Amino acid sequence: MSGANRDREATGNDAVPFGVYVHWPFCLSKCPYCDFNSHVRHAAIDEARYARAFAHEIATTAARVPGRVVSSIFFGGGTPSLIQPQTLATVLDAIARHWTIAPDAEITLEANPTSVEATRFRGYRAAGVNRVSLGVQALDDAALAALGRLHTAQEALNAVAVARGAFERHSFDLIYARPGQEPDAWRAELRRALAEGSEHLSLYQLTIEPDTPFAALHGAGKLVIPDDDLARALYDTTQEVCAAAGRPAYEVSNHARPGAECRHNLLYWRYGEYAGIGPGAHGRLVVAGNRRATATEKRPESWLMRVEGTGHGVITDETLTRDEQADEFLLMGLRLIEGIDPLRYEWLSGRPLDVARIAVLVGDGFVETTPQGRLRVTPSGLPVLDAVVADLAA
Ligand SMILES: C[S@@+](CC[C@H](N)C(=O)[O-])C[C@H]1O[C@@H](n2cnc3c(N)ncnc32)[C@H](O)[C@@H]1O
Ligand code: SF4
């Protein structure tokens, strides 16, 4: 069976999802914890030139994987809410010209919650965006300042209110396990966040990423983050408070009312097919029956020159072996509370999961099999997910 058919058959669905990720790589300032592909430029960005390059790369990618029906589009960053709505409309037009955008497609934009950006929300809605994901990060001004954010908690809440009026759907991000944060304070902050009534929240534990200013401070002992026990207590508080408020976790860091999950991110975790457009974007494309991993040049100016010269910025384009696909499928799928279909693992890898290893993990209380035959990580297994996946993939 070809890779494409294998993927299609395993989803058991004719309307196979296809996502488009578009990366906008610029920010007004660099937050000290962040290692995303984001850059600060003091000169004005030539948006029209970038829009042409995005359209060019979309055309080149669509020629490789033609005829797809796009079920979700995600503008991520960087800070895509710095883009003019007209630029975004141009990119959406290019996607619609080269593929078909499904009538009910989810079109998300990541936004920073400043008052300036909120003034553009209606323009984004008119361009076709129907979901916004706001990087609120904290509802405490001292914590926001420590995270290097350019907005206050009140400004962020005002942006959430504008988003609620402008878009059908919205979500916001908070970072917890911050220096000095205790479970009681986090519980109160999270309850305040949930009181906003948003259907979806992404709640990330602060990670010290290598080569960031936070990593340097942490290495020098000047930034102390919660130890493992405290981080676990904060994680447990998160699960308990969100579940009680009707927004249980559906993925390790993502919480939603049932039915309000982010469809684009679900596509990644369910190991679907998606195109990566823009500087430093990753894709997984099924080309001539092979699942290929693509990645583009990260530096915005170099990406721009490559696209203008060759029609695309792709610098990595590899066929994944069956083992690589099976490992990626496990790594992504076990992040989901719904877990994975072990038969799809077998389709991808050509061999079943190791029953003896599963039995040990079940005995330890880290994984379980559902009555429908799916394999999923239990609440006790999720905090040690990496070890569970490594064990199953070994
Ligand atoms: C691409 S980023 C942010 C989008 C937008 N530029 C913003 O900052 O609001 C997506 C999310 O990743 C999270 N994030 C980034 N770096 C992180 C880190 N080191 N630890 C935990 N969460 C992080 C933040 O919550 C952020 O909103
Ligand atoms: S967290 Fe957001 S605003 Fe801050 S540097 Fe990263 S992408 Fe830019």
Tens-level pLDDT at each residue, the chain (394 residues):
344 444 443 343 447 999 999 999 999 999 999 999 999 999 999 999 999 999 999 999 999 999 999 999 999 999 999 999 999 999 999 999 999 999 999 999 999 999 888 899 999 999 999 999 999 999 999 999 999 999 999 999 999 999 999 999 999 999 999 999 999 999 999 999 999 999 999 999 999 999 999 999 999 999 999 999 999 999 999 999 999 999 999 999 999 999 999 999 999 999 999 999 999 999 999 999 999 999 999 999 999 999 999 999 999 999 999 999 999 999 999 999 999 999 999 999 999 999 999 999 999 999 999 999 999 999 999 999 999 999 998 7
Closest approach atom of ligand 1 to CA 134: 9
Q: What's the gap in Å between 34 CA and the centre of ligand 1? A: 7
Closest approach atom of ligand 2 to CA 78: 7
Ligand 1 contacts CB of residue 209 (under 6 A): yes
Environment class of 104 (CB within 10 Å of its CB; exposed 0-12, middle 13-18, buried 19+): exposed
- Distances in Å between the Cα of 298 and the Cα atoms of 154, 159, 305, 327 are 34, 30, 12, 25
Strands 100-111 and 69-77, sheet pairing: parallel
* Rg (the chain; Cα; Å): 21
| pTM to 2 decimal places | 0.95
Quote the CA–CA distance of 344 and 12 in Å, as a whole number.
Answer: 10
Q: What's the gap in Å between 135 CA and the centre of ligand 1? A: 7
- Examine residue 67 and say whether the peptide bond preceding it is cis (omega within 30 degrees of 0): no
Instruction: Map tokens 């690589």 to a residue.
Output: 324
H helices present in the chain, as ranges:
3-11, 47-64, 85-98, 115-118, 121-127, 141-146, 153-166, 183-194, 213-219, 228-244, 263-269, 300-310, 322-333, 342-349, 355-363, 385-393
Q: What's the gap in Å between 79 CA and the centre of ligand 2? A: 7
Phi, psi of 203 (to 5 degrees): -120, 105
**Residue to probe by mutation, ligand 2, list 79, 116, 173, 298, most atoms within 8 Å of CB:** 79
H or E element in which residue 259 lies: none
Ligand 1 contacts CB of residue 132 (under 6 A): no
Phi, psi of 318 (to 5 degrees): -125, 140
Phi-psi region of 112 (alpha: psi -120 to 50; beta: other; left: phi over 0): beta
- Distances in Å between the Cα of 205 and the Cα atoms of 222, 254, 384 are 19, 11, 14
- Distances in Å between the Cα of 267 and the Cα atoms of 76, 138, 147 are 15, 27, 30
Instruction: Map tokens 């330890």 to a residue.
Output: 364
Q: What's the gap in Å between 149 CA and the centre of ligand 1? A: 11
3-state SS, residue 59 = helix
Quote the CA–CA distance of 208 and 33 in Å, as a whole number.
Answer: 7
Residue nearest to atom 26 of ligand 1 (CA): 135
Residue nearest to atom 7 of ligand 2 (CA): 78
